[in-house]
Amino acid sequence: MAELRRKMLTRIEAGDTPTAVARNFRVACSTVYNVKKLNIDALKTSVDQEWAAMLDTDVIKATKAFRRRLESCVAANGGIFEKK
């Protein structure tokens, strides 16, 4: 396990995103984040990298889905609107 942690830490320090490291080593993202407790600056950098790596189509799809959910919530006057 120590060897795996060392390899993951090396990839993080080389600039790989935690998601990429998790995918490459076939572990959960939480495992990667626990390898090295990130400071605030490193966390901001990581978030920026993950955001930049997102496809525009994924962002648009998520935004549209969120908008539909908000519209459903408003139409239900804040009540239950989930489909069963």
Element spanning 51, H or E: helix 40-53
Residues 14 and 43 in one domain: yes
> Total structural domains in the chain?
2
> Per the structure block, which two tokens stand in for 20?
């990429």
Give pLDDT tens digits for 11-55: 988 988 888 999 999 999 888 887 766 567 777 888 888 888 888
Q: What is the pTM of this model?
A: 0.43
Query: Of 48, 50, 68, which Cα lies nearest the Cα of 60?
Result: 68
Q: Do residues 83 and 65 both lie within one domain?
A: yes
Q: CB–CB of 11/21 below 8 Å?
A: yes
pLDDT tens digit sequence for 65-83 = 888 888 988 999 988 887 6
- Answer whether 23's CB lies under 8 Å from 44's CB: no
Domain encompassing residue 39: 2-53
Same domain? For 48 and 71 the reply is no
46 and 32 together in one domain = yes
Does one domain contain both 39 and 64?
no
Assess whether 44 and 81 both reside in one domain: no
